[in-house]
């Protein structure tokens, strides 16, 4: 995979398998890839894109320093204004490196973490992370281990992919496969640790979705089950729980989807690649108290997505960005392969998960219909007028620019 041309036009925003988070109602987007002329092209690591969600306007910020290599399948986490990037697959193969950048600084600079204590997890990609009490808690993924590490891990925690091994010198063997390991990184002490978990753990997997709800980390999908499975890990007792739901009321099994916490007891699932090999456009909520799924009616049926991001925004909106709208898997008796073309997206769209406040409704109505108010807008206090002007710009862009 080659780095993308940084002089490319606005289409730089089109991407999949990136990371995104929202801070101060600004969507931050880093990394990912495009498909150009049939080839995967990794997007630059020395920049981050910011979208003001009030106005819908984008800004590019440069990042200098120890710039990470071109990575796919990395895991990113945002904590206290700092972005952490761990592992992934680079030009030299799988890595176990960690990079950080303090985004609160006026001039952002990457740092490669080297003075780390404890046992670093084996190189991997397609893993996930929960941010809990200033700890980064990683789960699963696909990567490589030596034969000694495979023996120490055990068959239930690391599934070797058939025929995926290589020799290191004349004596060592390296294997590739999926894991269900849990590793903890303490940002204050720069220390790795591996807690002993109990209960029915998810099978080894990657390309799953994860989210944090209270003191529990949730995992869904990423396996080959016909129905979407769901687990949670209590991050205080390190106990796994599997949710059992009737197959008739459970979403189709999937991977490369998103799961977002939207309330004290609700999870929101969107899109992904179904076990039938088709990119999905369905949305579901899971009630963790009632332990039941509800299929959501929504206005974005024309926006199937895979490898996208979904963040919790203001008023409990779920903000979706990027991804591919036609990621298809073709299967025959010989091979499983990805379709040669993909439509990578750069649009931002939102799912409303709760009734809006009267203030939000008025703000959006004025922003969408400024011509109805004329000079009355000049009577608003400057701060409120500035907010309304952003909403006017947002709705104006929606009506004048295609959103996919």
255-308: pLDDT as tens digits: 999 999 999 999 999 999 999 889 999 999 999 999 999 999 999 999 999 999
Whole-model pTM? 0.91
Average pLDDT of 39-64? 95
Domain co-membership, 366 together with 283: no
Residue 366 token pair: 């004025």
- Strand segments, DSSP code E, in 150-300 are 158-168, 172-186, 191-193, 209-213, 216-220, 230-234, 239-242, 254-255, 258-263, 266-270, 273-274, 283-287, 292-295
For the cut 50, the answer to whether the pLDDT of residue 62 exceeds it is yes
User: Per the structure, how many domains does the chain have?
Assistant: 2
pLDDT, tens digit, for every residue of 115-141? 999 999 999 999 999 999 999 999 999
Domain co-membership, 251 together with 271: yes
Local structure of 88: helix, strand or coil: strand
Query: To 10 degrees, what angle do helices 358-368 and 382-400 make?
Result: 60
The CATH number assigned to the domain holding 59 equals 2.120.10.80
Q: What is the CA radius of gyration of the chain?
A: 22
Domain co-membership, 272 together with 401: no
Domain co-membership, 242 together with 367: no
Average pLDDT of 361-377? 94
More confident residue, 398 or 263: 263
Domain co-membership, 248 together with 377: no
CB contact at 8 A, 222 and 206: yes
Domain coverage including residue 208: 2-356
Domain co-membership, 343 together with 374: no
- Give just the sign of the alpha carbon dihedral 308, 309, 315, 316: positive
pLDDT, tens digit, for every residue of 4-35? 444 444 468 999 999 999 999 999 999 999 98
d(CA 4, CA 185): 31
- Strand segments, DSSP code E, in 43-122 are 47-52, 57-65, 75-79, 82-90, 93-102, 108-112
Domain co-membership, 303 together with 367: no
CB contact at 8 A, 319 and 348: yes
d(CA 54, CA 383): 13
Q: Which of 356, 375, 392 is the last residue of a domain?
A: 356
Domain co-membership, 347 together with 393: no
Neighbouring C-beta atoms of residue 214, cutoff 10 Å: 13
The stretches of 50-146 forming alpha helices (DSSP H) are: none
Domain co-membership, 281 together with 361: no
Instruction: Report the range of poorest mean pLDDT among 43-57, 147-161, 353-367, 379-393.
Output: 147-161
CB contact at 8 A, 194 and 170: no
Q: 180: pLDDT confidence band, cut at 50, 70 and 90?
A: very high
d(CA 267, CA 165): 38
End-to-end CA distance of the chain: 25
Longest dimension (CA), the chain: 81
Domain co-membership, 368 together with 285: no
Per the prediction, the chain carries an average pLDDT of 90
Domain co-membership, 179 together with 204: yes
Domain co-membership, 377 together with 270: no
Burial call 230-268: b when 16+ CB within 10 Å, e when fewer: bbbbbbeeeebeebebeeeebbbbbbbbbbbbbeeebbb
Q: 343: pLDDT confidence band, cut at 50, 70 and 90?
A: confident
């Amino acid at each position: 995979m080659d780095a993308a041309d940084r002089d490319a036009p606005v289409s730089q925003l089109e991407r999949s398998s990136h990371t995104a988070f929202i801070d101060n109602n600004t969507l931050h987007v880093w990394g990912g890839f495009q498909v150009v002329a049939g080839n995967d092209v990794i997007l630059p690591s020395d920049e981050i894109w910011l979208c003001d969600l009030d106005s819908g306007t984008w800004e590019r910020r440069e990042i200098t320093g120890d710039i990470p290599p071109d990575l796919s399948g990395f895991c990113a986490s945002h904590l206290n204004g700092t972005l952490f990037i761990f592992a992934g697959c680079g030009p030299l193969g799988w890595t176990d490196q960690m990079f950080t950048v303090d985004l609160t600084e006026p001039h952002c600079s990457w740092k490669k973490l080297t003075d780390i204590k404890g046992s670093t997890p084996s190189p991997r990609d397609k893993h996930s992370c929960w941010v809990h009490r200033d700890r980064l808690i990683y789960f699963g993924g696909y990567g490589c281990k030596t034969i000694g590490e495979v023996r120490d891990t055990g068959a239930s925690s690391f599934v070797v992919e058939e025929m995926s091994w290589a020799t290191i010198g004349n004596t060592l063997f390296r294997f590739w496969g999926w894991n269900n390991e849990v590793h903890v990184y303490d940002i204050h002490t720069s220390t790795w640790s591996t807690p002993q978990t109990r209960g029915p753990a998810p099978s080894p997997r990657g390309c799953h979705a994860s989210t944090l709800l209270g003191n529990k980390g949730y995992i869904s999908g990423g396996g080959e089950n016909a129905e979407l499975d769901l687990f949670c890990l209590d991050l205080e007792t390190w106990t796994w729980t599997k949710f059992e739901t009737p197959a008739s009321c459970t979403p189709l099994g999937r991977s490369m989807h998103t799961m977002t916490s939207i309330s004290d007891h609700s999870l929101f699932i969107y899109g992904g690649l179904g076990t039938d090999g088709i990119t999905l456009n369905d949305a579901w909520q899971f009630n963790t108290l009632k332990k039941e799924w509800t299929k959501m009616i929504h206005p974005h049926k024309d926006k199937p997505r895979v490898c996208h991001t979904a963040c919790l925004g203001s008023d409990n909106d779920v903000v979706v960005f990027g991804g591919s709208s036609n990621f298809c898997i073709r299967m025959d008796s010989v091979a499983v392969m990805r379709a040669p073309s993909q439509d990578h997206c750069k649009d931002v769209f939102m799912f409303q998960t709760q009734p809006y406040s009267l203030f939000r409704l008025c703000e959006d109505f004025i922003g969408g219909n400024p011509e109805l108010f004329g000079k009355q807008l000049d009577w608003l206090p400057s701060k409120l007028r500035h907010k309304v002007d952003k909403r006017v710009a947002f709705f104006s862009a929606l009506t004048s620019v295609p959103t996919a």
